[in-house]
Amino acid sequence: MMKTAYSKGNLVAKTGNEVMAEALRQIEPDVVAAYPITPATEIVQIFSQFVADGTVKSEYVAVESEHSAISATIAASAAGARAMTSTSSQGLCLMWEMLYIASGLRLPIIMAEVNRAISAPININADHSDTMGARDTGWIQIYSENSQEAYDNIIQATRIAEKAKLPALVAMDGFITSHCMEVVETYPDADVKAFVGEYKPERYLLDVKRPYTLGSIDLQDYYFEHRYQLAQAVIDARDIILDVAEEFKRTFGREYSFYEKYMLDDAEVAIVIIGSAAGNVKAVVKELREKGIKAGVLKIRVYRPFPAKQIVKDLAHVKVIAVMDRSDSCSGAFPPVYSDVTASLYSARVLGPKVLSYIYGIGGREFCDEQVVKVYETLGEVAAGLEKYSREVEYINVRIK
Q: Is 119 left (phi over 0), alpha (psi -120 to 50) or beta?
A: beta
In SS3 terms, 258-290 reads as CEEEECCCCCCEEEEEECCHHHHHHHHHHHHHH
Closest CA to 253 of 67, 1, 68, 16: 1
What is the CATH architecture assignment of 2-255?
Answer: 3-Layer(aba) Sandwich (3.40)
The dihedral through the CA atoms of 324, 181, 111, 120 has a sign that is positive
CB contact at 8 A, 140 and 164: yes
In the predicted model, is pLDDT for residue 2 greater than 50?
Answer: no
Average pLDDT over residues 184-205: 97
- Could you tell me if 308 and 282 are in contact, meaning their C-beta atoms sit under 8 angstroms apart? no
Is-same-fold flag (2-255; 259-395)?
A: yes
- For 266-387, strand residue ranges (E) read 269-274, 295-300, 302-304, 320-325, 354-359
Q: Tell me, what's the pLDDT at 3?
A: 47
Q: How many whole angstroms separate alpha carbon 64 and alpha carbon 209?
A: 34
Q: What is the mean pLDDT of residues 29-54?
A: 98
**Mean pLDDT score across all residues of the chain:** 96
Distance CA 131, CA 88 (A): 9
d(CA 110, CA 196): 13
Whole-number pLDDT of residue 5: 44
Give residue limits of the domains in the chain. 2-255, 259-395
Report whether CATH 3.40.50.920 matches the domain 259-395.
yes
Q: What is the mean pLDDT of residues 100-123?
A: 97
End-to-end CA distance of the chain: 41
Specify the pairing of strand 110-115 against strand 83-87.
parallel
Beta bridge partners of 245: none
Smallest Cα–Cα separation from 300: which of 250, 255, 270, 261?
261
Interval 272-293: pLDDT, tens: 999 999 999 999 999 999 999 9
Flag whether the pTM goes above 0.85: yes
